[in-house]
Amino acid sequence: MLKARQCNADILHIHAIGPGLMVPLARLLGLKVVATHHGPDYNRDKWSKIADQTIKVYEKALAI
């Protein structure tokens, strides 16, 4: 994000939910953000309940 800001990028593309936690920071830096949401990972059996809740927080950060 800092490099994108330094290079005066037109837009920052965030891939997946995990990095979505950084979207509010990117917007504070004045970057326009687009995010790709590959699906509700919290509905997949491989994650624990704590991981599910964490992923939901990250997902909400995408919408900020």
Tell me how far apart the alpha carbons of residues 18 and 61 are, in angstroms, rounded to a whole number.
10
Q: Give the domain extent around 27.
A: 2-62
Assign 35 to helix, strand or coil: strand
Q: What total number of domains does the chain contain? A: 1
Q: Which residues contact 18 (CB under 8 A, 6 or more apart)?
A: 55, 58
Give the single-character DSSP code of 46. Answer: T
User: Looking at this protein, which amino acid is placed at residue 49?
Assistant: K
pTM, 2 dp:
0.71
Each residue's pLDDT tens digit, 6-64? 999 999 999 888 888 888 999 999 999 998 888 777 778 888 889 888 888 888 888 77
Task: Map residue 36 onto helix, strand or coil.
Answer: strand
Is the pLDDT at 2 greater than 80? The verdict is: yes
